[in-house]
Amino acid sequence: MDAAFAMEVLEKAPYVTVSFTRPDGTPYGLPLSLARTDERTFYFHCPRGREA
């Protein structure tokens, strides 16, 4: 997907989930609330992440 698609998603989505993989290979997701001031400056808030 291109940058225009990413910006459209960020405009419409109330939150996103970022996926990670722990060192042992198990996955987990972290929900992020997003805000932006322009196309280059983003802010996010999330609950406490998990320790590896």
pLDDT of residue 42: 82
Residue 7 domain boundaries: 3-45
Nearest to 47 by CA among 35, 34, 30: 30
pLDDT in tens, 7-52: 888 888 888 888 999 999 999 888 888 888 887 888 887 776 555 4
Number of domains in the chain: 1
**Any domain includes 52:** no
pLDDT of residue 6: 82
**Any domain includes 11:** yes
Amino acid identity of residue 43, one-letter, is Y
**Any domain includes 34:** yes
